Chain A
């Protein structure tokens, strides 16, 4: 077709090149003139790139919880260790103030009392810390022995504690090294049995028990009224219904966890001796072989030398990493949801618009009925029925969001159907498919593109809303909405946890909206003052 033909340039009699300007080209020109839209577009692209390349960025794993790093504030300059020390000292100073050993002026005392009543803990801590440090410098305050001991212990921990991250575990299978994540159930089971020196039958039995215990817990969480025999029966039914592959998948996940734990444990003593003897420098990247030939690649680092630019959450996970991985999910939901809804919308809309008559009538009444139902409620019910995972979330959102686009496409197709150029194409013997694909879709594409750019932020908002309610993305995954939802409960104490994801999300939504507005103005200049 025309696209694959060699590009020839038409010239007039003076050899001046004459190239046509298509509507798309003109729209692009107009878009480039719109600064706000360009800035929005650039920001959106940056977001998309960062989200796409999250695995390549030097980020801490988003699901790695470091227990001692809980609720660290964001800091560009201080390491986690320093922040931990600061926090510890704040506590100690506060206790000293309570015990009357740290003396402040009367106004400051009164101020602290009011802050405590208003539960402005951060203010209290900051003031006490500042005054305490001042007092130590002036020599008017000294730690007592127990406090000194706590500080020393913490200091030692900060200096010595290491974190072993298992990057991969592999084992030789038929002479080749295979990662345990790619192995089938039987191989991994026998490897694990070998590792712990137990009988395969026993291990297999215990795996079954573990999975059924997990199922029991899930059932109990869903329906607290289940007890005794009912519960046992339900578990049995569930286990039967699960099927071989589903069971094996769950068991494999468990075994991988165990193997990594064992690897961590057995590696730590060796590595520590290496470090204390000065043979290894931290951070250390190396390999380690387990007794049965399992080959472990690991990374050892000083855990308290980490820097958390955006702080950490209540489990000690890096917030920056969680935000970036969360943006992956949020943006993906925006895109996939929009694409799905556009696909359904175009199909239904084009059918209704082109065929008209009864088909049109029934389809549109169906759309009307769907419009009448409370939208969010429908999604929530869907999530409740089909279970809470990302795929269902996509599905539930797409299911109810194609309505507007179906109406829009229908209107567009109906108006195009009576255009003279479509009649011309028919009078020239063009088939229905030819007319739809060559005339109708290209002519309604611009409005679809514009609409979908405006839809993406709406999808992200809906997903965030669901995640905020706890119906969306489940741990350990994160999305912008779930991050904000998690942060709300500790809003007063750790405002950064709420503010940072919110700002990130707001910037993206703004950029997307500006881009969408810009696209609309570019593609359809007349509609500028209408919508």
Chain B
């Protein structure tokens, strides 16, 4: 894919959630660093997969992009517009092009709305404010809903049905239809298949591929199933503890994992062939994922890395460009050019908190 157009660009995104204590006199005692300074680009028409263990910040990243959370710092540039700093109207206009598919098809549809109303909800919201191509009449919207239902493979006669009358796969299709309703340029899929049966997963994945082919929508796709990611994405981002460990094209990553964490992750995925599976050597990581509430000035994977060096303990590794669009945040590759400097500065709130603590220590 040459001369690729960047559609979404995330720059040094940090999403910290304060830990509060006390009732009336609430004070912040620390932060959960769910996403701690990540940068990546998304090109038009591709699918970017994000993998990682539970709690590594995949969903938070996506939700920050969708502006469901206000990011602590950083920039989210969509067509060059910074969503974090955009005013309400601009945000609403841009949001039209960024839609989400949610993880749990049972929770993501309002149980008291018919399929018609669910799919029409975004259309109505934008139609009422005149943000669609033109003002649609109610009948035209109805037509559009039926088209969408056909597109995602649900019988359009079911418009009057309620979500609880559908199976999980069908509900996820409704969720996809809702995400498609506004003809978005980018769809953020937050583990859209992990709540489904394997056979249904395949159907939904194929549906997503088809939609991408037909409509040229860009996908950011989260999954913790490596097979799914390999199947669907063009490029893969590996995350650990709120940091990006490795970014690469899908084929490259699976054939030539560079980061020790990626290696461990890939070795954990089972291979559907008993003979190979039995003889294969697995890398087993020791310990648990550390709590994300600490400030770190070392490699984030240091505690559990099998190849750790002294250097790793002293500073955060920058992203090294290993060529072929393959970037990795590991000092094993420090002979390669640096693609991006690591940023371990503190956010404003953190600095305030730290200053406060320092003052307290002085008093003691």
Binding site for B on A (CB under 8 A): 2, 5, 9-13, 16, 18-24, 358, 361, 419-421, 423-431, 434, 438-439, 442-443
Contact with A along B213-241 (1 / 0, CB 8 A): 00000000000000000000000000000
A340 to B113, CA, bound (A): 28
Nearest opposing residue in chain A for B107, CB measure: A420
Known: A421-B107, A424-B108. 7 other contacts (CB 8 A): A9-B160, A18-B161, A20-B158, A22-B162, A23-B162, A424-B175, A429-B125
Q: Flag if B112 contacts A22 (CB, 8 Å).
A: yes
Q: Which chain B positions have C-beta within 8 A of A421?
A: 107-110
Contact with A along B46-80 (1 / 0, CB 8 A): 00000000000000000100111000000000000
Q: Which of B107-165 contact A (CB under 8 A)?
A: 107-115, 117, 121-122, 125-126, 138, 155-162, 164-165
> Which of B103, B109, B110 has the most chain A CB atoms closer than 10 A to its own CB?
B110
Nearest opposing residue in chain B for A17, CB measure: B157
B96 at the A interface (CB under 8 A): yes
Contact with A along B69-97 (1 / 0, CB 8 A): 00000000000000000000000100110
How many chain B residues sit at the interface, stated as a range, is 35 or more
Q: Flag if A20 contacts B114 (CB, 8 Å).
A: yes
A355 to B321, CA, bound (A): 46
Q: Which chain B positions have C-beta within 8 A of A16?
A: 157
Q: Which chain A positions have C-beta within 8 A of B112?
A: 22-24, 442-443
Q: Flag if B107 contacts A428 (CB, 8 Å).
A: no
Q: Flag if A427 contacts B99 (CB, 8 Å).
A: yes
Q: Flag if B95 contacts A12 (CB, 8 Å).
A: no
Q: Known interface pairs A2-B117, A420-B108. Does A427 touch B162 (Cβ–Cβ under 8 Å)?
A: no
A18 to B114, CA, bound (A): 12
Nearest opposing residue in chain A for B112, CB measure: A442
Binding site for A on B (CB under 8 A): 23-24, 26, 63, 66-68, 92, 95-96, 98-100, 102-104, 107-115, 117, 121-122, 125-126, 138, 155-162, 164-165, 175, 178, 182
Q: Flag if B125 contacts A430 (CB, 8 Å).
A: yes
Q: Flag if A429 contacts B95 (CB, 8 Å).
A: yes
Q: Which chain B positions have C-beta within 8 A of A428?
A: 95, 99, 121-122, 125, 178, 182
A9 to B95, CA, bound (A): 33
Q: Which chain B positions have C-beta within 8 A of A24?
A: 112
Q: Known interface pairs A423-B102, A443-B110. Does A21 touch B125 (Cβ–Cβ under 8 Å)?
A: no
| Shortest distance between the CB of A313 and any CB in chain B (Å) | 51
Q: Flag if A426 contacts B24 (CB, 8 Å).
A: no
| Shortest distance between the CB of A500 and any CB in chain B (Å) | 45
Q: Which chain B positions have C-beta within 8 A of A13?
A: 157
Nearest opposing residue in chain A for B175, CB measure: A424
Q: Flag if B158 contacts A427 (CB, 8 Å).
A: no
| Shortest distance between the CB of A438 and any CB in chain B (Å) | 8
Q: Flag if A439 contacts B164 (CB, 8 Å).
A: no
A428 to B179, CA, bound (A): 8
24 intermolecular pairs with C-beta atoms under 8 Å apart: A2-B117, A5-B138, A10-B158, A12-B155, A16-B157, A20-B158, A21-B165, A23-B112, A419-B107, A420-B108, A421-B108, A421-B110, A423-B63, A424-B175, A425-B110, A426-B68, A427-B66, A428-B122, A428-B178, A429-B92, A429-B96, A429-B125, A438-B110, A438-B121
* 8 Å CB contact of B23 from A361, A420, A434: A361
A421 to B158, CA, bound (A): 20
Q: Known interface pairs A428-B125, A434-B125, A443-B111. Does A20 touch B160 (Cβ–Cβ under 8 Å)?
A: yes
Q: Which chain A positions have C-beta within 8 A of B121?
A: 425, 428, 430, 438
Q: Flag if B108 contacts A20 (CB, 8 Å).
A: no
A424 to B172, CA, bound (A): 13
Q: Flag if A439 contacts B110 (CB, 8 Å).
A: yes
Q: Which chain A positions have C-beta within 8 A of B165?
A: 20-21
A430 to B109, CA, bound (A): 14
Q: Flag if B103 contacts A420 (CB, 8 Å).
A: yes
Q: Which chain B positions have C-beta within 8 A of A443?
A: 110-112
Q: Flag if A10 contacts B160 (CB, 8 Å).
A: yes
A442 to B110, CA, bound (A): 10
Q: Known interface pairs A423-B102, A427-B68. Does A10 touch B95 (Cβ–Cβ under 8 Å)?
A: no
